[in-house]
């Protein structure tokens, strides 16, 4: 008896058509393992499983590969800002967010081989050991603590940063992912000035990662490159570690897949097949066992099928993994019933527990003319020349050149009240340093202009609230409406990395081509906004030191917010600008995603009713189906999430290989 799903009759032909637009696919009926989604995690798990030459692996990707001249922006780090809204991006948008002035938020995700590792800012951040220890010790996820995780980070890393600039014994040097300093080791003067000023300010250098200007400072903290935040301590500031190698972006497709799919290569693996332009619409079941997937080829609504002899692994990311699960009949039965999707497994946690990081677009006018400017023709020509003659120069650099990690005092007080005996927690805030101006075109994609401007307090009879006037005075809204060249900015992006707010992913309909409903519920927990305000105040303190050190920077003030605070508080304009009220309103209007959604198919123990997968990444109540990507991360990590997604896949790959080997051994004994 073949697989069935009553709501979706299967095509009559059991063999895949292998249409011309579905790249690299031979007409093979089935594979041992099918991996859905060739992103940060999917490329890793497909590559690792195919190391066993007896395991035939099919890796499916809805987007294209990133080879050839059309894909040049993917491979050149300096073209990062050109990738959003293009053909390599899913271009998702959230529901309106009531706590961010009812804005719609733009959520780019990679639609290309390598997924979001092919369109992100290339930052390599392991996060904090306590992030992973919390998974194991607090949540009971055995085998997912730092003692395990650290080994797998070393396994995937190929560090090429000078040894005297990193902590000894903390890094890997032989893995598939090349990691360098900012990409080419060249650092903008503003970046170095920031790292120096942050150390002077004591950012993150006090007890438990708080700011303390009087704290003793190590040689690393005082060095030009700052701390190794992937080393012995995450707290403090340092020049970025990036997944850029020999001048090119080091996506997971480049590191884990490309070396093994070229028949002309010595490392070619005939048991690893990659299919691009294949949009998976659902998982196919025989009873409670996953036995294959249905997929659509770009431009067609006709379903094709691939069969899986042993495993289907979903690695479509925190947005589309829950979407595929729900379209396949796995999710909250009430939600599935709404769309007439027969229930295969009633798992209410699918699509819940959505977490994301936020940062604030806070431009500072740079009078030193040190900041790079997007669209500068001379910079671009020189950058191309340097790239072509030696794979170096500004276009081989991540836009984010330094990072700071620290904890706010109120955050530590809250955690201490809940658990006085807990170890020092991970940092709750981060600052991304971008010594460059994004173009008006890029800023428009952030949809800052979707904000609904409202009074900050009662409008008295003798006062005037003119929404159009305040909107015209809003600096970032005005920036997003500009054309041509924008001013030269330095961007210290204050970031919330331990949010308490939790959101949801839901399907819009039973049509797999309809984008899911994304509701991150930003700032729905007030502490999140308060923590960002605390961090913003400290960022201003560092900028003041930079100014004293000879780098004149001026915050671009939103005069409309100042007007409103003056009207409501009846204070001076200076008092209004320096108030927490100004910063909080600024954040409501300009905070945007850092592109780090996780948690929507979370890993949990059996006693957690909202769990979706177990510690072996197996979907509850289903045989032959696993999830391996950022959606299984139960609590978001303190830092950029590409590294954690990759390391999750590294750990899961060994778990799956062991299980497959055990099954093969058992069958051999029959």
Q: Is 112 within any annotated ligand binding site?
A: yes
pLDDT at 78: 86
Query: How confident is the model over 60-78, as a mean pLDDT?
Result: 87
> How far is the C-alpha of 38 from the C-alpha of 59, rounded, in Å?
6
Q: Is 647 within any annotated ligand binding site?
A: no
pLDDT at 160: 96
Quickly count helices (H) and strands (E) in the chain. 20, 28
Query: How confident is the model over 31-48, as a mean pLDDT?
Result: 98
Query: How confident is the model over 224-249, as a mean pLDDT?
Result: 96
- In angstroms, the Cα distances linking 426 to 85, 237, 441, 499 are 33, 15, 35, 12
| pTM > 0.75: yes or no | yes
Query: How confident is the model over 222-226, as a mean pLDDT?
Result: 93
pLDDT at 360: 93
305-320 per-position pLDDT tens digit: 999 999 999 999 999 9
How confident is residue 18, by pLDDT bands cut at 50, 70 and 90? very low
Residue with the bigger pLDDT between 442 and 644: it is 644
pLDDT at 478: 67
Tokens encoding 340 = 């007439």
Q: What residues have CB less than 8 Å from 178, skipping those under 6 apart? A: 158, 160, 243, 244, 245, 246, 250, 255
Q: Is the pLDDT of residue 483 over 60?
A: no
501-529 per-position pLDDT tens digit: 999 999 999 999 999 999 999 999 999 99
Q: What percent of the chain has pLDDT over 90?
A: 75
- Active-site residue, 596 included: yes
pLDDT at 482: 59
Concatenating the DSSP letter of every residue in 17-74 gives: ---TTSTT----SEEEEEEE--STTHHHHHHHHTTSTT--EEEE-SSB---SGGGHHH
Give 578: exposed, middle or buried? Use CB within 10 Å, 0-12, 13-18, 19+: middle
How confident is residue 26, by pLDDT bands cut at 50, 70 and 90? low
Give 6: exposed, middle or buried? Use CB within 10 Å, 0-12, 13-18, 19+: exposed
Contacts 24+ apart (CB under 8 A), 88-94: 88/63, 88/64, 88/112, 88/118, 88/119, 89/119, 90/319, 90/320, 90/515, 92/319, 92/515, 92/516, 92/518, 93/447, 93/515, 93/518, 94/518, 94/519, 94/520
pLDDT at 3: 42
Ordered by where they begin, the domains of the chain are 86-108+183-240+356-593 (3.30.560.10)
- In angstroms, the Cα distances linking 140 to 171, 575, 606 are 27, 49, 10
> How far is the C-alpha of 638 from the C-alpha of 431, rounded, in Å?
12
Catalytic-labelled residue, pool 105, 171, 357, 596: 596
209-220 per-position pLDDT tens digit: 999 999 988 888
Q: Is the pLDDT of residue 37 over 50?
A: yes
Concatenating the DSSP letter of every residue in 212-267 gives: -TTS---HHHHSTTB--TTTT---EEEEPEESEETTEE--HIIIIIHHHH-TTSTT
pLDDT averaged over the chain?
A: 91
Least confident of 146-160, 352-366, 418-432, 474-488: 474-488
Concatenating the DSSP letter of every residue in 273-307 gives: EEE-SEEEEEEEEETTEEEEEEEEETT---EEEEE
> How far is the C-alpha of 145 from the C-alpha of 148, rounded, in Å?
6
């Amino acid at each position: 008896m073949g697989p069935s799903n009553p709501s979706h009759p299967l095509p009559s032909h059991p063999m895949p058509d292998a249409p011309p637009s579905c790249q690299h696919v031979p007409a093979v009926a089935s594979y041992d393992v099918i991996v859905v989604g060739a992103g940060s995690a999917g490329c890793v798990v497909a590559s690792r499983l195919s190391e066993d030459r007896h395991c035939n692996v099919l890796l499916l990707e809805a987007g294209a590969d990133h080879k050839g001249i059309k894909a040049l922006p993917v491979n050149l780090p300096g073209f990062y800002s050109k990738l959003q809204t293009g053909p390599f991006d899913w271009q998702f948008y959230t529901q309106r967010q009531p706590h961010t002035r009812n804005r719609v938020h733009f959520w780019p995700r990679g639609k290309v081989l390598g997924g979001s590792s092919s369109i992100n800012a290339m930052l390599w951040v392991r996060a904090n050991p306590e992030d992973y220890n919390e998974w194991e010790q607090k949540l009971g996820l055995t085998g997912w603590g730092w003692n395990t995780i650290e080994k797998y980070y070393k396994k995937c890393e190929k560090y090429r940063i000078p040894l005297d600039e990193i902590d000894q014994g903390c890094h890997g040097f032989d893995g598939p992912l090349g990691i360098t300093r900012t990409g080419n080791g060249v650092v903008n003067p503003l970046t170095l000035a920031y790292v120096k000023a942050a150390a002077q300010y004591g950012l993150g250098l006090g007890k438990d990662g708080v700011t303390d200007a009087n704290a003793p400072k190590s040689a690393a903290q005082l060095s030009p490159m700052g701390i190794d935040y992937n080393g012995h301590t995450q707290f403090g500031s340092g020049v970025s570690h990036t997944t850029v190698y020999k001048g090119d972006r080091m996506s997971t497709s480049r590191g884990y897949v490309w070396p093994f799919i070229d028949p002309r290569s010595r490392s070619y693996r005939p048991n690893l097949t990659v299919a691009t332009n294949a949009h998976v619409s659902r998982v196919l079941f025989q009873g409670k066992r996953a036995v294959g997937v249905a997929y659509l080829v770009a431009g067609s609504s006709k379903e094709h099928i691939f069969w899986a002899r042993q495993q289907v692994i979903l690695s479509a990311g925190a947005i589309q993994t829950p979407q595929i699960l729900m379209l396949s009949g796995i999710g909250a039965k009430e939600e599935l019933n709404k769309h007439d999707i027969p229930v295969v497994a009633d798992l209410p946690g699918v699509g819940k527990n959505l977490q994301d990081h936020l940062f604030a677009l806070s431009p500072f006018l740079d009078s030193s003319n040190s900041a790079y400017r997007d669209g500068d023709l001379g910079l671009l020509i020189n950058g191309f020349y340097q790239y072509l003659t030696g794979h170096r120069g500004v276009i081989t650099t991540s836009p984010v050149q330094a990072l700071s990690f620290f904890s706010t005092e109120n955050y530590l007080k809250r955690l201490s009240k809940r658990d006085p005996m807990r170890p020092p927690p991970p940092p709750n805030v981060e600052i991304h340093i971008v010594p460059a101006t994004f173009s008006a075109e890029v800023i428009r994609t952030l949809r800052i202009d979707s904000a609904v401007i409202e009074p900050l307090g009662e409008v008295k009879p003798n006062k005037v609230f003119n929404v159009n006037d305040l909107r015209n005075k809003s600096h970032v809204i005005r920036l997003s409406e500009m054309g041509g060249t924008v001013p030269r900015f330095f961007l210290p992006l204050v970031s919330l990395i331990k949010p308490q707010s939790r959101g949801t992913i839901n399907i819009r309909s039973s049509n797999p081509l309809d984008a899911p409903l994304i509701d991150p519920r930003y700032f729905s927990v007030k502490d999140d906004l308060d923590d960002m305000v605390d961090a913003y105040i400290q960022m201003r303190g560092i900028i003041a030191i930079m100014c004293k050190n000879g780098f004149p920077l001026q915050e671009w003030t939103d005069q409309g917010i100042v007007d409103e605070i003056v009207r409501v508080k009846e204070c001076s304009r200076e008092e209004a600008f320096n108030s927490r009220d100004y910063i909080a309103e600024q954040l409501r209007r300009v905070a945007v995603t850092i592109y780090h959604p996780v948690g929507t198919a979370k890993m949990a123990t059996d006693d957690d009713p909202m769990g979706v997968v177990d510690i072996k990444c197996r979907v509850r109540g289903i045989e032959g189906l696993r999830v391996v990507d950022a959606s299984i991360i139960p609590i978001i990590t303190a830092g950029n999430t590409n590294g954690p997604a990759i390391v999750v896949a590294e750990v899961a790959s060994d778990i799956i290989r062991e299980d497959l080997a055990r099954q093969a051994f058992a069958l051999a004994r029959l």
